[in-house]
Amino acid sequence: MRARAGHPAGRRRSALVAGLVAVVLAASVACTADEPDPAPPPGPDPSTSAPAPSGGPPLVVPEGANPFGAHWDWSRYDQFTPYLRKISGSATYHELTWCAMEKTRGQVDWAAVDRVAQRSRDLGIVLNLKIRTGVCWATGGTAQHTRGQANKTESAMPLDMATYQAFVRSVVERYAPYGVTQFAVENEVNAPQYWSGTPEDYATLVRAAAEAIHAADPRAKVVDSGISSVAYGFGVVDRLARAGDTDAAVRAYGAYFARRIGTRGQKIPEVRDAASLDRALTNEANARNVAFLAVTERLIDEGVVQVRQVHYYEHPDGVPALLDYLRAENPAGVPMEAWEVGQFWRDGDGDAASRAGEMTKVVTALLAGGIRQVMWLPLAYNPNNRAGSEVRYGLLDPDGTEREAGRIMEVLVAASRGATVTAVSRDQVTGVAFERAGATTLVLWTAAGSSASLPATPGLRAGPAGANATDATDTSISDNPIIVQGDRTAEQILATLR
């Protein structure tokens, strides 16, 4: 295991947290289709080099590829296809569940996943797969959490690991011809509604899955479950608290959970000082979050997991703290991909411009910070969701009509193809630069209350994110992101900032 600064032997928690984690762990013990066409898929190479957040080489996006993807409801594929063709060269993921596919032992129904793999290939979008167990004959026990119209349940440990490995191998062998090379083991295991076992159970499962994945395809990469956005927030705060920087931990908590406080009762309470911070970190749910994040990172340190999966649904102000955490905790050379990025807004009352602006900041800041693929979720929200309001913001209307956010994403996709991507951080201005063959697209913004400007320059076009760029007069930069385009280098454009 790679020892981290301030983390003797990798990671050691306080005695109080360790005791609570022990309580959490004790409580948690409690038809075959035709073979697929083996033609190779179009789209990006998932092994594309990525910028290291600690200052490594910039991301160079191959021609025809782009680092901005999405996740969508496949039942609305026909409505979404026109937009999905515009973001070809990106990546997406699909979740499959062993118990749902093999309801009767020995009779696997591949049809639904085959359809997803075929359509992804047709769209020129690289498919990643999440392999879950579910609860059934293969695991024993009775499901405790059932959710959604599909009646999804938590996952449990397989009764027989050899049988589980045989299923995993069959998945990899079947979908490698479609170009699937990345396989995540489970989903958000920190949440009881997704995983019924302990952190050590999960580690055992991942090691078994990794063995099967590599046996089936030595080129394949193992991806972790994608610890939830909330759990990453508690990892961020816990790290700062353990380092003794209580003030920074309190500030990070407030920025990261700006829209979460009070939404889950006392699981995400308001925090003002060291005492309230300690109570937040040591309640049972959050101790579980920290424990599962720790075991996931141990698997990354040991090389069992080769790609870190990040989930983020918070306010843009929480991104810097997340990136700081990843700089400290992610081993050099281990790529990071954000398979779930979105916008949690409980009341859903932001106007289209503010919501689109926040989307722009989050996806570009993550990319600039070293995340090599950013997938927005959902592509279009479900109007019949349990909450009623649009808690998680879509790039499209439910019928597939493009929103302002969707149009901005198109601009980012076009700018990124074949481009070199670098972070921008100059005086009060933050953002990202996409440079390609003498042409540059910049996405820029300042902190709230700050401002900057670019002087009028021949060939320079600018406009608010979501608007058509126009020949620039003097261009003001505020906390609402703008997009600047020109035939000069990023350095030449930024040198004129004032």
Count of alpha carbons within 13 Å of 252, Cβ hemisphere only? Answer: 25
pLDDT at residue 12 in the model: 35
Of the candidates 85, 99, 74, 163, the one whose C-alpha atom is nearest the C-alpha of residue 378 is 74
Coil, helix or strand at residue 448? coil
Which range, of 153-167, 294-308, 338-352, 463-477, averages the lowest pLDDT? 463-477
Q: Which residue has the higher pLDDT, 149 or 261?
A: 261
pLDDT more than 90, % of the chain: 74
Answer whether 276's CB lies under 8 Å from 270's CB. Answer: yes
Beta-bridged to residue 127, according to DSSP, are 92
pLDDT at 3 over 70: no
pLDDT at residue 232 in the model: 98
pLDDT at residue 374 in the model: 98
pLDDT at residue 456 in the model: 85
The pLDDT tens digits for 29-85 are 333 333 444 343 333 343 333 333 444 578 999 988 999 999 999 999 999 999 999
3-state secondary structure 296-354: HHHHHHCCCCCEEEEEECCCHHHHHHHHHHHHHHCCCCCCEEEEEECCECCCCCCCHHH
**Domain 422-494 bears CATH identifier 3.40.50:** no
Of the candidates 372, 373, 391, the one whose C-alpha atom is nearest the C-alpha of residue 381 is 391
pLDDT at residue 472 in the model: 56
Where in the chain is CATH 3.20.20.80? 15-418
3-state secondary structure 19-34: HHHHHHHHHHHCCCCC
pLDDT at 453 over 80: yes
Residues 6+ apart with CB under 8 A from 477: 429, 444, 445, 446, 451, 452, 453, 454
Where in the chain is CATH 2.60.40? 422-494
Task: For residues 177-202, give the mean pLDDT.
Answer: 97
Give the pLDDT band of residue 474 (cuts 50, 70, 90): confident
Residues 6+ apart with CB under 8 A from 80: 72, 379, 380, 396, 400
Euclidean distance between CA atoms 82 and 84, whole angstroms? 6
Coil, helix or strand at residue 440? strand
Phi, psi angle pair for 445, to nearest 5°:
-155, 170
Mean pLDDT, the chain, integer: 87
For residue 441, what is the enclosing H or E element? strand 439-446
Task: For residues 299-311, give the mean pLDDT.
Answer: 98
pLDDT at 28 over 50: no
CATH number of 15-418: 3.20.20.80
The pLDDT tens digits for 208-259 are 999 999 999 999 999 999 999 999 999 999 999 999 999 999 999 999 999 9
The pLDDT tens digits for 94-147 are 999 999 999 999 999 999 999 999 999 999 999 999 999 999 999 998 888 776
pLDDT at residue 470 in the model: 63
Going from the C-alpha of 385 to that of each of 303, 380, 382, the distances in angstroms are: 39, 12, 6
pLDDT at 495 over 70: yes
The pLDDT tens digits for 156-167 are 999 999 999 999
| Furthest-apart CA atoms within the chain: distance in Å | 69
Which range, of 347-356, 361-370, 410-419, averages the lowest pLDDT? 347-356
Give the pLDDT band of residue 267 (cuts 50, 70, 90): confident
Order the strands of the 126-132 sheet from edge to edge: 91-97, 126-132, 182-185, 221-223
